Amino acid sequence: MPEPVTPVTFPPAFLWGAATSAYQIEGAVREDGRTPSIWDTFSHTPGKTAGGETGDIAVEHYHRYRDDVALMAELGLTAYRFSISWSRVQPTGRGPAVQRGLDFYRNLVDELLAHGIKPAVTLYHWDLPQELEDAGGWPERDTALRFAEYAQIVGDALGDRVEQWITLNEPWCSAFLGYGSGVHAPGRTDPAASLRAAHHLNLAHGLGTSALRATMPARNSVAVSLNSSVVRPLSQNPADLAAARRIDDLANGVFHGPMLHGAYPETLLAATSSVTDWSYVLDGDLAAINQPLDALGLNYYTPTLVSAAAASADGPRADGHGASSFSPWPGADDVAFHQTPGERTEMGWTIDPTGLHDLIMRYSGEAPGLPLYVTENGAAYDDKPDPDGRVHDPERIAYLHGHLSAVRRAITDGADVRGYYLWSLMDNFEWAYGYGKRFGAVYVDYATQARTPKSSALWYRQAARTGTLPPVTAAE
């Protein structure tokens, strides 16, 4: 007789969400007053994205949002996380807002609410208005002040109907892939600028949080979504442990230090002293960044395995963050990155749900009492429709089952996890990888824009409807 399997059941109020971001899905990049963001410029620069692909059309969500929301409702989602395109609502990154831009998001939110789906708004998912980059971008302090103004505009427009707010998505990518390794927009490769950018993103988060609070009802929740890394040493020898500590500071402490504890880790300041003097951290900045939060968002895909290595002129590689001869890890050229053993997704990222459990437990301890959300988790696979038109993705079902089970274990172990947002609702523009990597629970035929729920979407629907994970074979 096979062992009976204990059902994996979630608390009744647990949110079953999916996530997207503006540039990855909206298209309509020149409509209704929107101006270019750094991702428009970058994707139109030859050689920056696979096949020269851009978000010009993406999955036309700007025009199809009503159908997309109806599909979300059919799929049983109780929450939807999306981001606002800054240059759609404030084209120059400063000054007055464009009402047509805000109206798009008002209509989207109203549509979600009419379908009983809780909206969660991310203010910044990597698409800085190009005008602000031309003025210096995130390495410049003024960008943080501009972000606070933008937060106030959006908070004012949507604060009456959106309860869940996220200031920044994955500021690590904005700072270190955007200004360090250059594999993301704006494509700069300057280690000192990447640390300056990190500080000003932190400041933007703090000032933006205060701006939201000043304009919105007190019941609303403000959070940030960090792609905090689960950094593991290759061995327990002191050099490898020190390498892991260094990467942990650069991946995690650089953001959660000031945001949650009001200080940069001393070890980070020491390890980066040859790159920057941190003189741009002005009096009062740390207090401005260290705003009490209502929740913390965690994005998780795969762990990071490191060891000490001889310093290399080419910098560290194999860190899973795209091909560049420039490092996204300032001051850490003597750290080597290794592939964690195990099965991988189409991104080459090792599948390891224990990392998600570890991450949640870490932040449960790091920020006691703060509700946690998994604001992104998911996998890319080379999905293709069968001759019958259906898209079977058993690997994604197994991935989701494994990671949601890890979330449930963390709840059992005492973590206050309130919801999970699958990345992503539908296939979309995967940044420098273009459209080649499909993360969606819904398949998109890019030629016709037809949407087809994959078997993972049907599996997830059953989980959302019952609050219990179906067996991995359920939707096949």
Binding to ligand IFM by residue 127, rule CB under 6 A? no
Give 41 or 215: the residue with its C-beta nearer to ligand IFM. 41
Looking at the DSSP bridge assignments, the partners of residue 464 are: none
Binding mask 254-293 for ligand IFM (x = CB under 6 A): ----------------------------------------
CB proximity list for 307: less than 8 A, separation 6 or greater: 233, 234, 235, 239, 240, 243, 335, 336, 338
Site string for ligand IFM, 292-311 (x = CB under 6 A): -------x------------
Report residue 71 as tokens: 């599909």
Token couple for 114: 């009419």
The amino acid occupying position 8 is: V
Tell me how far, at minimum, the Cβ of 346 lies from ligand IFM, in Å. Answer: 11
37 binds ligand IFM (CB under 6 A): no
Rounded Cα gap, residues 278 and 295, in angstroms: 28
DSSP 387-454: TTS----HHHHHHHHHHHHHHHHHHHTT--EEEEEEE-SB----GGGTTSSB--SEEEETTTTEEEE-
Residue 201's closest CA among 191, 209, 212? 209
Nearer residue to ligand IFM within complex by CB, 140 or 170:
170
Q: Which candidate in 26, 53, 111, 170 is catalytic? A: 170
Closest CA to 179 of 52, 328, 381, 373: 328
In the complex, the smallest distance separating the C-beta of residue 25 from ligand IFM, rounded to whole angstroms, is: 10
Residue 26 in contact with ligand IFM, rule: CB under 6 A: no
**Minimum gap (Å) between residue 63 Cβ and ligand IFM:** 21
Give the chain's radius of gyration (CA, Å): 21
Q: Site for ligand IFM (CB under 6 A): how many residues?
A: 8
Q: Which is nearer to ligand IFM, 26 or 376 (CB)?
A: 376
Q: Supply the minimum distance, in Å, between the C-beta of residue 433 and ligand IFM.
A: 8
Q: How far is the CB of 163 from ligand IFM (least distance, A)?
A: 22
Q: DSSP for 236-254?
A: SSHHHHHHHHHHHIIIIIH
423 binds ligand IFM (CB under 6 A): yes
Exactly one of 8, 17, 18, 21 binds ligand IFM (CB under 6 A); that residue is 21
Longest CA pairwise span in the chain (Å): 69
Structure-token pair, residue 449: 């824009």
Our answer to whether residue 26 is catalytic in this structure is no
Nearer to ligand IFM, 184 or 200 (CB): 184
The whole-angstrom separation of Cα 265 and Cα 85 is 32
Q: Which of 290, 309, 430, 457 binds ligand IFM (CB under 6 A)?
A: 430
395 is catalytic: no
Angle between helices 191-215 and 141-158 (to 10 degrees): 30
The smaller minimum CB distance to ligand IFM, of residues 81 and 408, is found at: 81
170 lies in the binding site for ligand IFM (CB under 6 A): yes
Minimum Å distance from CB 170 to ligand IFM? 6
Minimum gap (Å) between residue 423 Cβ and ligand IFM: 5
User: Helix or strand or coil: residue 1?
Assistant: coil
Q: E strands within 285-394?
A: 296-299, 304-308, 335-338, 372-377
List binders of ligand IFM among 350-389 (CB under 6 A). 376
Are 473 and 418 within 8 A, CB to CB?
Answer: no
* Interactions with ligand IFM, residue window 62-101 (CB under 6 A): none
Of 248 and 376, the one with the shorter C-beta distance to ligand IFM is 376
Query: Which of 133, 140, 376, 430 is the catalytic position?
Result: 376
Q: What residues line the site for ligand IFM (CB under 6 A)?
A: 21, 24, 170, 299, 376, 423, 430, 439
Active site residues: 170, 376
